[in-house]
């Protein structure tokens, strides 16, 4: 009788090592490879964005159907040539007002949801790597402090002293404010023209959708926060000449 020796397969040192859940050895926790974790995080963010877009589309479709139903009912009454009684007219106007209030409430809810998802993303716009700064309050605060520091530097203050004064060590906004200020002080070049066109188009569309004839620095921060290169270009142009009337005072 002969025996065949079987050699176990060698483990690939380059393969990501998977930790096992101690409570359930068959259940992996997460890959130690940061690329895997980053991909999983990106997938989660993409799924959340797709879910929000689907909910928005569903709400818009419901509102459109409701408006169409009201319009159809009014048209049918007009075609029949039936004269409305004062009571019927009052009831119809109340229904119309109720629909308008519902639409307004839906838009306000959507606005608040979008505000809660505000995120300052400087990936690709600055040399260093920074995690996105999340939340409307944090984004607006970081932009406002950046504007103050840039104004002080423009008036002759020392850059390092100004940063330390407004966002000292330990301030949670310091990494983003410092990156914005230092990058915004670099001069813009001709290659920034396409970025400028995208920036202006984005601001114009946001103002049109919000029904604004005038807009503030806060509006700009919230519109451009997810597009770091466009926000930094806006800050650079602000150093040449304030772009918003309220910023010139």
Quote the pTM value: 0.52
Distances (CA, A) of 162 to 122, 140, 209: 21, 19, 37
Using DSSP's 3-state secondary structure scheme, residue 126 falls into: coil
For 149-184, the three-class secondary structure string (H helix, E strand, C coil) is HHHHHHCCCCHHHHHHHHCCCCCCCHHHHHHHHHHH
Answer whether residue 42 shows pLDDT above 70. Answer: yes
C-alpha 117, offset from chain centre: 6
**DSSP secondary structure code for residue 1 in this structure:** -
Contact 181, 150 (CB under 8 A): yes
Q: Per residue in 107-142, pLDDT tens?
A: 766 666 555 578 898 988 888 888 999 888 999 999
Distance CA 97, CA 78 (A): 19
pLDDT band at 230 (very low <50, low <70, confident <90, very high): very high
Q: Per residue in 74-112, pLDDT tens?
A: 666 555 555 778 888 888 888 888 888 888 877 766 666
Q: 61-96: string of b/e by CB count within 10 Å (b at 16+)?
A: eeeeeeeeebeeeeeeeeeeeeeeeeeeeeeeeeee
Distance CA 133, CA 226 (A): 10
C-alpha 211, offset from chain centre: 19
Question: What whole-number percentage of the chain has pLDDT above 70?
Answer: 73
């Amino acid at each position: 009788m002969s025996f065949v020796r079987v050699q176990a397969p060698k483990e690939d040192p380059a393969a990501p090592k998977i930790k096992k859940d101690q409570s359930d050895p068959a259940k992996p926790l997460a890959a130690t490879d940061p690329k895997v974790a980053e991909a999983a995080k990106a997938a989660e963010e993409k799924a959340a964005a797709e879910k929000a877009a689907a909910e928005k589309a569903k709400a818009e479709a419901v509102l459109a159907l409701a408006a169409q139903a009201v319009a159809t009912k009014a048209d049918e009454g007009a075609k029949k040539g039936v004269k409305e009684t004062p009571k019927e007219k009052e009831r119809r106007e109340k229904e119309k007002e109720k629909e308008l209030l519902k639409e307004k409430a839906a838009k306000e809810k959507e606005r608040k949801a979008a505000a809660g998802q505000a995120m300052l993303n400087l990936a690709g716009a600055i040399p260093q790597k920074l995690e996105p700064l999340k939340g409307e309050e944090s984004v607006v605060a970081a932009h406002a402090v950046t504007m103050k520091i840039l104004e002080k530097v423009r008036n002759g203050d020392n850059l390092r002293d100004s940063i330390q004064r407004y966002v000292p060590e330990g301030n949670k906004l310091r990494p983003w404010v410092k990156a914005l200020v230092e990058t915004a002080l670099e001069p813009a070049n001709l290659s920034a023209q396409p970025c400028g066109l995208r920036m202006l188009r984005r601001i114009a569309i946001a103002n049109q959708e919000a029904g604004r004839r005038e807009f503030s620095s806060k509006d700009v921060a919230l519109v451009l926060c997810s597009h770091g290169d466009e926000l930094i270009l806006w800050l650079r142009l602000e150093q040449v000449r304030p772009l918003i009337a309220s910023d010139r005072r």
